[in-house]
Amino acid sequence: MTAPDADGVVLMRMRTEFLDTGAAGAGAVVEGTAVEGTVVKAEQRLQFRSAAQVRADLDAVGLTVERISGDWHRTPFVEATDRLMGVEARKA
């Protein structure tokens, strides 16, 4: 992962190698499962934003934030400690 740029964006690089595809054996593709030995590489740009930034960005595109949760149980988001931000928004 790179250091954040001026906008707080980091580049995350991932590499996944499928070593064992299970009972199907080498060379088999089962329901979209990768072939044994396949290597998948990907890059994602991630931007870490405050709750205030998320609200402002969504407001700017015509959405109103109804709730920001800190987990999948809709517990209120605590910016100082929560690592997950679940956002519920609707058209303004």
The pLDDT tens digits of the residues spanning 24-50 come to 555 555 555 566 677 888 999 998 889
User: What percent of the chain clears pLDDT 90, i.e. is strictly above it?
Assistant: 57
Share the mean pLDDT of the chain. 86
Dist. CA 72–CA 83, nearest whole Å: 12
Q: What is the mean pLDDT of residues 11-27?
A: 73
CA angle 84–68–92, rounded 5-degree value: 135
Indicate if the alpha-carbon torsion angle 22, 28, 30, 33 is positive or negative.
positive
**pTM of this structure:** 0.59
Per residue in 60-74, pLDDT (tens digit) is 999 999 999 999 999
Domain spans, the chain: 1-48, 49-92
